[in-house]
Amino acid sequence: MKKINLAFAFMFMGYFALNAQSYIGHSVDNYSGIHGIILNPSSVVDSRMRTDINIFSLSVFAGSDYYAIDLGNLADSDDGFEISENTEKFPKQNNQFFLNIDALGPSFMFNLSPKHSLGFTTRVRAFFNLNNINGELYENFSNDFDLAEDFNFNVEDFSGTIHLWGEVGATYGRVLLEENKHFLKGGITLKYLKGGGSAFSSSPSFSGDYSGMNEVLSTMGSLNYGATMDFNSEDVGFDSSASGFGGDIGVTYEYRNPQGLDSLGKKDNKYKFKIALSLTDIGSITYNETSNTNYNLNGQIQKTELSEKSLSEILEDNYTGSEELLDSKINLPTALHLVADYNIRKRLFVSLNGSFSLIGHDKEQANRIINTVTATPRLETRFFSFYLPLSKRQYDGFAAGAGLRLGPLTVGSASAITSLLSDSSKTADVYVGLKVPIYQ
């Protein structure tokens, strides 16, 4: 039987790391350029940018409804980060863990004509979702079952997927309607996807009872685990034959005040308010000959094994597993985005952005974003923008952050303020970007 790799241990036990949309706050800026394409491909046309060249950008979004971090205490600590001292735990029957890393490589966009534009993007992305894991079970595994009292657990509809992939995208945008106060544009991005590897696990149900007196864990149920060839936490690359195709599609409507339109140029925003709708990450990657092992979890495990062996060793030494090679399709984190943006006055805007997963948390071999609604007041000029995103996040609650764009440099976080002020932050995000903007 093939040895279970380290990616499975990471997926099953999922330590909190520093998912939702990328570049929150910045992507709604009319001067976001290539970053606006990520949220809605229709933004490539009628842009305030003549050309926008991204050198490198990175966005990280992660969290858990199990761990909450007090960053204030962390800053005052002389011993660095300690999970036991700098986190508060909220174990439930169905805890969630999530991570989204989005690295935007060399990319650019340009105008073919006033009504047609093109964009090209390169990205490397990593997603991790752990759904419906029993928090008490997780905690006892973390502590090597160092306990004397009895406990029992039940897990329903458990699933977890970690996936790394790269993508090359081509975006085309076109003005569809331009009549006085009504303006409509659309865009589409077609992507070639290259798989970097995936590990996944699922179980319809498994349960157990631990006897503190006998120091024995009795379990029943089943667990399926799969991993693409040669994928583990120490050997990750894009040399596999796995590939696929994906895409994004979006439209934007603008209501414009016809008075004074003739005096505005290409460098000026003309709308009073706009509404944008998009679907992102449609598609999947197929991996050939993925190792799939189904474990029968009916059995007993001694406490010494629980404290001394790794999770993979526990499964292999105590349970019967049947392995087979199958083709596995890993679905992208398909999402729906809706943005409403209002021009308060010349350089002041406020937007309301909802990002919602179209992938259910019970779907196997798939990643998903967490649902987020964000209101973002911002001051916006050609060379400088300042954002103040205020979000309601699934599994966490309210989050407030800040970001700025200063010429070629963009930095921000949609949770920086609440993370510093709150003693129980369950999500965190940060982004930074460097580009060559060429304005209209």
CA-wise closest residue to 419 among 430, 432, 428: 428
| List of the chain residues with pLDDT < 70 | 1-21, 70-86, 144-148, 230, 232-240, 258-265
Burial (CB < 10 A; 0-12, 13-18, 19+), residue 434, is middle
For 322, the 3-state DSSP assignment is strand
Which pLDDT score, from 0 to 100, does residue 230 have? 67
Residue 419 lies in a domain: yes
Domain interval for residue 306: 6-439
Residue 426 lies in a domain: yes
The enclosing domain of 96 has a CATH number of 2.40.160
On whether the CB atoms of residues 265 and 440 are closer than 8 A, the answer is: yes
Residue 211 lies in a domain: yes
Measured distance CA(137)–CA(88) in Å, rounded: 16
d(CA 348, CA 341): 11
Given a contact cutoff of 8 angstroms between Cβ atoms, the answer to whether 398 and 408 are in contact is no
The per-residue pLDDT for 109 is 96
- The CA angle 71-159-20, to the nearest 5 degrees, is 45
Pairwise CA distance, residues 109 & 256, whole Å? 25
Q: Which residue has the tokens 């949309």?
A: 21
263-294: pLDDT as tens digits: 666 777 889 999 999 999 999 999 988 888 89
pTM comes to 0.88
Residue 1 lies in a domain: no
248 in a domain, yes or no? yes
38 residue type, one letter:
I
Tell me what pLDDT residue 301 has: 87
Residue 157 lies in a domain: yes
Q: What is residue 395's predicted lDDT score, i.e. its pLDDT?
A: 78
The alpha-carbon radius of gyration of the chain (Å, integer) is: 24
Q: Which residues contact 379 (CB under 8 A, 6 or more apart)?
A: 347, 348, 385, 386
Q: How far apart are CA 210 and CA 155, in angstroms?
A: 15
Compute how many other C-beta atoms are within 10 angstroms of the C-beta atom of residue 371. 16
Q: List all residues 6 or more positions away from 428 whose beta carbon is below 8 Å from its beta carbon.
A: 18, 61, 62, 63, 69, 413, 415, 419
What integer pLDDT is reported at residue 231 of this predicted model? 72
Looking at residue 10, its pLDDT comes to 43
Q: Which residue has the tokens 């350029």?
A: 33
Q: Is residue 215 part of a domain?
A: yes
The per-residue pLDDT for range 135-165, each reduced to its tens digit, is 888 887 777 666 667 888 888 999 999 999 9
Strand partners, 386: 379, 404
pLDDT at 234: 58
Overall number of domains in the chain: 1
Alpha-carbon span 402 to 393, nearest angstrom? 16
Show Cβ contacts of residue 143 under 8 Å, excluding neighbours closer than 6 positions: none
What is the three-class DSSP state of 207? strand
Tokens found for residue 437: 């903007």
Number of Cβ within 10 Å of residue 221's Cβ equals 18
Cα–Cα distance measured from residue 271 to residue 251, given in angstroms and rounded to the nearest whole number: 15
- The position carrying tokens 């970097």 is 196
How is residue 12 written in tokens?
A: 């099953």
pLDDT at 390: 93
Return the pLDDT at 373.
93
Q: Enter the tokens of residue 201.
A: 């696990």
∠ CA 199-154-131 to the nearest 5 degrees? 35
In a domain, 80, yes or no: yes
